[in-house]
Copies of this chain bind each other. A is one copy, B any other.
């Protein structure tokens, strides 16, 4: 049995749960490596992957005997088969954050057990990365750095935000990425004032500020990076906010390391924002892994200590409504001594010439 499922089984024992239904596909992929649609059932006697006929062939190709996972075709399961899975069990964990109310009622009926909320047990397990996971994130970060370095040398006169976003994506895919980790943000001029701007047909012009928020996926694992550049010239009003945002990121990255409480670090930054009268439009950061946003979240409400080998994105931003916004973000590896940046694109003022 793989180490991840073994670890989960130990956790379940300590929670007095006799089994668990894992429905969240990201958690299923984490525990089994499978991306096929289906449900992983940690049953007293065995691990079961329930899928349907569309996926049986490819699942059987991927699993080996060492995985110790039995594959069931959902069409062949009778009422009695379902009841047999947790026969003699009483309390079974389920994922209340993922399972819909409709499915919850169906599970109750099918398995005839008490369903107990597991409060993100697998999500919490995913926070601390294995060595192989770290390597995959590093590779995704490297592709992202290269894509950024490529695009800032290739923004042509008359190009639109959409076209730039497309070039970034094309570069990433041609350089080994599975795809983008999220819809790329390329927001120029006033569009940068919205943190989640979607690329438009607006053409880049001299004097523009351009906000990038980009990342890719490599063998399932994500990278996340934001940079701001200036076209042909850099207006004085941008400098003050750029420096402030960059300083916030440095302070957070220096403060966070193994064992440090997230709440305390973020509260200080919130105070700093309030002093400057800047609105806080989003969290200061989040974990990165199989999901682009996952635990731990860098919010002042999160009263928990960071753990070694977590991977987090730190992304302070300041937004001037209807005018512009500046966000700087890197993906970091949390170590005993501090945060090590995995994205390494320059954070000097970057003023490009249109080619």
Contacts and interface: CB of A to CB of B under 8 A. Distances in A.
A33 B338 CA distance: 45
Query: How many copies altogether?
Result: 2
A8 to B, nearest CB: 20
Interface residues of A, number: 30
B102 A100 contact: no
Most chain B beta carbons < 10 A, residue from A173, A321, A322: A173
A194 interface: yes
A281 B54 contact: yes
Contacts of A53: 279-282
Interface in A99-134: 99-102, 104-105, 117
A96 to B, nearest CB: 4
Nearest to A99: B101
A117 B99 contact: no
Nearest to A55: B196
7 contacts: A53-B281, A53-B282, A57-B194, A58-B197, A97-B102, A166-B170, A170-B170
Interface of A: 53-55, 57-58, 94, 96-102, 104-105, 117, 166, 170, 173, 193-197, 279-282, 321-322
